[in-house]
């Protein structure tokens, strides 16, 4: 007979997903987690959750004055409890709602890549999440605020913050040599191409969304954009700006963006 040995993490995964159905197995789980000799299982599980909450808390407390201390604490926690993927995931989430801290969040990732042993795992996740933005940027369209209910207005603003934050974060990752230029410029060209396609239809729901993303990516990476891409994008802007479906407000936004390039 082959014996199977489970570590505590695997055991807890089974317990979390187990649906009560067999009285004998139910009793086994109950006895196992109530015996004093087995309390270390619960302690290990609660400790991981506690450390996850601490990491999120530290991310929200970062300031220019405490950055170095916060980074050291977070790095030590991630190293001891193997929570680096969790931290990176939450940095991506927070960057969309707190774009003002994008610079610090990117700095954390950069330092983790310099120090961590699992560099490939971190990079694979970053590239995966960055590529996802090509789809995210053209979903959940922003609406015109006119005529919206209060709840719809709040949801609209959340979407704007999300797309603005993600666009800036993507640009900041490139500026810090974490992702390749091709990934950012491909994303930018995809959004521009999608916008031009939308303008050929009667459905203009995604126009403001697209321009918002384009504006933030361009303004973030403008100084490191190559000459060819700069000329192409300026030409695209000229075509988009002159389209009848573009409102005056958005035309002025495009004109400002052209000047910045």
pLDDT, tens digit, 9 for 90 and up, residues 222-240:
999 999 999 999 999 999 9
State how far the Cα of 38 lies from the Cα of 35, in Å rounded to an integer. Answer: 5
| Proportion of the chain above pLDDT 70, given as a percent | 70
User: What is the pLDDT at residue 35?
Assistant: 47
Estimate the crossing angle of helix 39-61 against helix 84-97, to 10 degrees. Answer: 40
The confidence band for 149, taking pLDDT boundaries of 50, 70 and 90, is low
The confidence band for 198, taking pLDDT boundaries of 50, 70 and 90, is confident
User: What is the pLDDT at residue 260?
Assistant: 83
User: What is the pLDDT at residue 11?
Assistant: 57
CA 136-139-143 angle, to 5 degrees, is 130
Between 9 and 221, the more confident residue is 221
User: What is the pLDDT at residue 201?
Assistant: 80
pLDDT digits (tens, 9 = 90+) for 201-212: 876 667 887 888
Average pLDDT of the residues in 60-64: 89
State how far the Cα of 218 lies from the Cα of 171, in Å rounded to an integer. Answer: 8
Residue 28 gets the label, from left (phi > 0), alpha (psi -120 to 50) or beta, of alpha
The confidence band for 51, taking pLDDT boundaries of 50, 70 and 90, is very high
| Proportion of the chain above pLDDT 90, given as a percent | 26
Average pLDDT of the residues in 8-33: 62
Full-model pTM: 0.70
Residue 8 has pLDDT above 80, yes or no: no
The rounded mean pLDDT for the chain is 79
User: What is the pLDDT at residue 36?
Assistant: 46
Between 155 and 177, the more confident residue is 177
pLDDT digits (tens, 9 = 90+) for 120-133: 888 888 888 888 77
User: What is the pLDDT at residue 20?
Assistant: 59
State how far the Cα of 52 lies from the Cα of 23, in Å rounded to an integer. Answer: 34
Domains of the chain, residue spans: 131-260
What radius of gyration, in Å, describes the C-alpha atoms of the chain? 24
User: What is the pLDDT at residue 154?
Assistant: 63
């Amino acid at each position: 007979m082959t014996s199977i040995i489970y570590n505590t993490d695997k055991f807890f995964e089974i317990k979390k997903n187990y649906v009560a159905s067999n009285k004998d197995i139910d009793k086994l789980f109950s006895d196992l987690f109530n015996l004093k000799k087995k309390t270390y299982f619960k302690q290990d599980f609660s400790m991981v959750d506690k450390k996850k909450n601490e990491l999120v808390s530290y991310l929200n407390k970062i300031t220019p004055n405490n950055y170095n201390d916060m980074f050291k604490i977070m790095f030590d926690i991630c190293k001891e409890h193997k929570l680096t993927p969790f931290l990176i995931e939450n940095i991506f989430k927070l960057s969309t709602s707190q774009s003002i801290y994008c610079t610090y969040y990117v700095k954390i990732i950069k330092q983790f890549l310099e120090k961590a042993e699992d560099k490939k795992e971190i990079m694979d996740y970053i590239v995966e999440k960055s590529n996802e933005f090509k789809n995210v940027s053209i979903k959940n369209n922003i609406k015109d605020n006119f005529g919206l209910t209060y709840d719809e207005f709040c949801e609209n603003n959340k979407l704007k913050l999300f797309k603005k934050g993600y666009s800036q974060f993507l640009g900041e990752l490139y500026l810090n040599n974490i992702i390749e230029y091709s990934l950012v410029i491909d994303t930018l060209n995809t959004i521009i191409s999608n916008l031009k396609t939308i303008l050929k239809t009667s459905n203009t729901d995604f126009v403001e969304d697209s321009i918002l993303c384009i504006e933030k990516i361009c303004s973030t990476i403008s100084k490191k954009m190559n000459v060819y891409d700069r000329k192409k994008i300026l030409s695209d802007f000229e075509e988009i700006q002159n389209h009848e479906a573009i409102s005056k407000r958005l035309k002025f936004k495009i004109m400002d963006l052209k000047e910045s390039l």
